[in-house]
Amino acid sequence: MTMPTTELARVFERDLGRILRLYAVDEVFAEICRDYLSLANAKSDAKEALPHIVSSLQGLEVEIRLRLASEPNEAKTEILKPPFDDMQT
């Protein structure tokens, strides 16, 4: 199942690729994203920003960020060769 990414791209621009990968493999994360998008749509449809919608969106944004933070970043997991490996013993 694909998801509309406009609102997620706006808020999570740098992490959209990771969000899409997690969305495809983690049903709990996908549900959090669907909830976020549903509330974002409700907020944009409302004549005024209702405090409970804004608060819920903020909470879901925190959940998404925490999940992203718990995922290994490809750049962090790259194996680096220590500079002393070239030294002769």
Handedness of CA 40, 42, 44, 46 (dihedral sign): negative
What digits encode the pLDDT tens for the residues 8-51? 888 998 999 999 999 999 999 999 999 999 999 888 887 776 88
Phi-psi region of 87 (alpha: psi -120 to 50; beta: other; left: phi over 0): beta
- Judge contact between 27 and 80, C-beta under 8 A: no
Provide the CA 34 distance to its chain's centre, in angstroms.
Answer: 12
Question: Which is more confidently placed, 19 or 71?
Answer: 19
Distance CA 77, CA 18 (A): 15
The pTM for the full model equals: 0.73
